[in-house]
Amino acid sequence: MRWIGRGELPREVGVLAVIAFVVALGFGIVAPAIPLFARAFGVGTTAVGLAVSAFAFFRFVSAFSGGSMVERFGERLVLAAGLVIVAVTTGLAGLAGSFPVFLALRAAGGVGSAMFTVAALSLLLRVAPPTHRGRAAATWQGGFILGGIAGPAAGGLLAELSPRLPFFLYAGTLLIAGAVGLALLRTAPTATDPGEGPVTTGPDLDAGPVPLRTAMRSRIYLAALVCNLGVGWVLFGVRNSLVPLYVTEELGRTVAWAGAGLLAGSLAQALGLLRSGRLVDGWGRRPSLILGSSVATASVLILVLPPATGAFLVSMALFGLAASLLGSAPAALVADVSPARGGRVVAVFQMAADLGAIGGPLLAGWLTDVASYQVAFAVTAAVLGAGLVMALALPREEQATVPVASRP
């Protein structure tokens, strides 16, 4: 692959962003139907929650094996296989005749989702040169955001017609995404710096993946893990589970106001993505991570104050802006540490966000029950603050310094 100019991204980044949009669109379509379909089997609220969490749990526990598969078989095949697994299990889930079968198919879908996500992110970071890694991550993230905004609206309407229909439509979109991946994601060469030939600083790009044990000794990689944990904790966990209840019970507003806050955050994140990638690449990983972590921590601390609707909306918008930086800078740091095919290194990075998404709602919900919403939000801010501390401790020289000799 030869670069034409410094402002361009490799073709694979655009293809991956389109696939991310299709996947997020389909997931948004099926999300409103999952609790309705589970309820149709006559199960209780706990079982409905289990149907939602089974996907996330199995996605988390299978991510590391997905990383090993990436290193053995390559990103393209693992990505396509993961999408096919999710497509088949989702389509069959729409045909399920009992709740245990539906639950098992949802769990199997989580395994495929882990394979897709790890493979796609590994490929994205491998093909992007150091000067473009922030922009590549922002482009990829933008595909998910746009799909996530458009999907739920259509999903709610389709679920009204039939709770099975969204499952079939989602399966179809995934098969299309898998076909696109196989057709357009050729075996990608390792990134080169635009117009300057192969990158020569940092680890040897042709020496194979950096061992996970070696990466774990890097402050750069640890900072990326802690920050991604915070992103998963809030963006995929607390924001979706605790915030709607906070709006109705503490603010005394309708669920529509909760939706308005989430939409404000998504729109702010989408707008922030227009510049966040360039900030990460041009201004630097460390200052971008410090800014993103600071704004994110402050946005949640606003919710520790006495309840106010205006403050809530400001908090959601600020966190959306912070998330645009926290979705780009940590990923760029991971690529700096392991620029070759880093399946397991990328898998653990993804697992950090999934762990936050699983553990955040559980701990925050328990703290709300035994104490208050304000205590739950204070602990959430502390998790984000840990990412800020790690960012401040990063060396000012941001290029990864993992020794080549430590590789197998």
Instruction: Kindly state the tokens that stand for 286.
Output: 């460390």
Mean model confidence pLDDT for the chain: 83
At 120, is the secondary structure helix, strand, or coil? helix
Question: Phi then psi for 192, rounded to 5 degrees?
Answer: -125, 155
At 178, is the secondary structure helix, strand, or coil? helix
Measured distance CA(67)–CA(90) in Å, rounded: 23
> In terms of domains, do 371 and 268 share one?
yes
Whether the CB-CB separation of 223 and 332 falls below 8 Å is answered with no
19, pLDDT greater than 80: yes
Handedness of CA 92, 94, 95, 101 (dihedral sign): positive
Q: List Cβ neighbours of 169 (8 Å cut-off, separation of 6 or more).
A: 26, 29, 30, 158
Question: Phi then psi for 256, rounded to 5 degrees?
Answer: -60, -35
Range ranked top by mean pLDDT from 43-57, 147-161, 174-188, 320-334: 320-334
Quick one: pLDDT at residue 152?
Answer: 67
Across 68-82, 93-107, 119-133, 152-166, least confident range: 152-166
> In terms of domains, do 313 and 178 share one?
no
> In terms of domains, do 283 and 225 share one?
yes
Quick one: pLDDT at residue 23?
Answer: 87
Whether the CB-CB separation of 63 and 345 falls below 8 Å is answered with no
Whether the CB-CB separation of 155 and 37 falls below 8 Å is answered with no
404, pLDDT greater than 80: no
Measured distance CA(103)–CA(92) in Å, rounded: 11
Quick one: pLDDT at residue 163?
Answer: 77
Closest CA to 147 of 262, 320, 235, 18: 18
Closest CA to 138 of 288, 276, 289, 296: 276
Quick one: what percent of the chain has pLDDT higher than 90?
Answer: 39
47-106 residue pLDDT tens: 777 777 788 889 899 998 998 999 888 888 999 999 999 999 999 999 998 999 999 999
Quick one: pLDDT at residue 243?
Answer: 86
Quick one: pLDDT at residue 397?
Answer: 54
> In terms of domains, do 149 and 254 share one?
no
Q: Domain for residue 338, yes or no?
A: yes
Q: Domain for residue 404, yes or no?
A: no
- Model confidence at 400, pLDDT cuts 50, 70, 90, reads very low
Q: Domain for residue 192, yes or no?
A: yes
- Model confidence at 342, pLDDT cuts 50, 70, 90, reads low
Final residue of a structural domain among 155, 173, 198: 198
Q: Domain for residue 407, yes or no?
A: no
At 403, is the secondary structure helix, strand, or coil? coil
Q: How many secondary structure helices (H) and strands (E) does the chain include?
A: 16, 2
6, pLDDT greater than 80: no
Measured distance CA(375)–CA(91) in Å, rounded: 41
Helices (H), 74-132: 75-93, 99-127
Instruction: Kindly state the tokens that stand for 137.
Output: 């991550």
> In terms of domains, do 218 and 192 share one?
no
Q: Domain for residue 334, yes or no?
A: yes
368-392 residue pLDDT tens: 889 999 999 999 999 999 999 999 9
> In terms of domains, do 70 and 187 share one?
yes
Final residue of a structural domain among 198, 220, 253: 198
> In terms of domains, do 178 and 251 share one?
no
Q: What is the CA radius of gyration of the chain?
A: 21
> In terms of domains, do 282 and 358 share one?
yes
Q: Domain for residue 358, yes or no?
A: yes
Q: How many domains does the chain have?
A: 2
> In terms of domains, do 110 and 183 share one?
yes
Rounded mean pLDDT of 37-52?
Answer: 77
Measured distance CA(230)–CA(357) in Å, rounded: 9
Distances (CA, A) of 90 to 18, 78, 113, 257: 20, 18, 11, 31
> In terms of domains, do 164 and 278 share one?
no
Measured distance CA(111)–CA(46) in Å, rounded: 22
Closest CA to 341 of 222, 211, 235, 237: 211
Quick one: pLDDT at residue 156?
Answer: 63
Domain that holds residue 158: 11-198
What pTM did the predictor assign?
0.82
Residue with tokens 């994601």: 185
> In terms of domains, do 120 and 225 share one?
no
Q: Domain for residue 406, yes or no?
A: no
Q: What is the DSSP code string of 28-83?
A: HHHTTHHHHHHHTTT--HHHHHHHHHHHHHHHHHHHHHHHHHHHHH-HHHHHHHHH
Instruction: Kindly state the tokens that stand for 401.
Output: 């310094």
Where is pLDDT greater, at 345 or 191?
A: 345
Check which CATH number belongs to the domain holding 273 and give it: 1.20.1250.20
Q: How many Cα atoms sit within 13 Å of 374 on the Cβ side?
A: 8
> In terms of domains, do 255 and 193 share one?
no
Q: Domain for residue 238, yes or no?
A: yes
Rounded mean pLDDT of 312-333?
Answer: 93
Measured distance CA(405)–CA(275) in Å, rounded: 37
Final residue of a structural domain among 170, 198, 226: 198
